[in-house]
Amino acid sequence: MKKNLSYMDSVHRDGTIWNLSVMVILLLFPLAVAVIFNAIPDWQGLLMGLISTAPMYWAVGVVETITFVPMLGAGGSYLSFVTGNISNLKLPVALNALDQAGVKANSEEGEVVSTIAIAVSSIVTTLIIILGVLLITPLTPVLNAPVLAPAFAQILPALFGGLGVVFVSKNWKIAVAPVLLMLVLFIAVPALNAGTVGIMVPVSVLFTLGVSRVMYKKNML
């Protein structure tokens, strides 16, 4: 007799299958290109490159899993790690949906809300990309207009600024520490830029959790 899986069990089962499937597909593409075009890589050079870069991605992967999963929920995390762009898109979408619904990420309602929000975000993103590919040629003169350049430069700050106001206003004391940390780091280390967001977001989250716990112990929250 077939045993009926609970919602969470089915989420973990399907999420594991899809994540492993996507990993295999991503690895098959460069393998197919190498076979079709007879462009076999220099295995020694590939190994040396992996040794120098892979550990950083392993560390980021571990940190992101620890920090993002409690905020996204199980279903939302599986979807986010498959579709990507977590810190810039999926995380803000999920947090905003949870805030609008008035539920916590670790509740059953929050699990459903977060998953639906990220799924809809992924679908909308895909449709926009398809539309952009179709319209990129006729719209290129418009998009390259100098008058629009300042607006495009402020898209991400506007997105995170809007979300920041909502969450900072709820407990501004917690927000002080990570804001100061990021200001000091980005001023003191000019090499940090938009490309380091994937690393700095988890670092900021862990730092904020540590400071918040100390403040809680000292009855400052």
3 state SS of 135? helix
Q: How far apart are CA 71 and CA 128, in angstroms?
A: 26
pLDDT, tens digit (0-9, with 9 covering 90-100), for 136-188: 888 888 878 888 888 877 877 777 777 677 667 777 888 888 888 888 888 88
Q: How far apart are CA 182 and CA 190, in angstroms?
A: 12
Cα–Cα distances (Å) from 215 to 76, 172, 208, 209, in that order, read 30, 13, 10, 10
pLDDT, tens digit (0-9, with 9 covering 90-100), for 2-16: 567 788 888 888 889
Q: What is the pLDDT of residue 198?
A: 63
Q: What is the pLDDT of residue 1?
A: 46
How much is the average pLDDT of 38-54? 82
- Ramachandran region, residue 38 (left: φ > 0; alpha: ψ -120 to 50; beta: rest): left
Residue in 87, 85, 105 with CA at minimum distance from that of residue 202 = 87
How much is the average pLDDT of 87-104? 84
The length of the chain is 221
Q: What is the pLDDT of residue 123?
A: 93
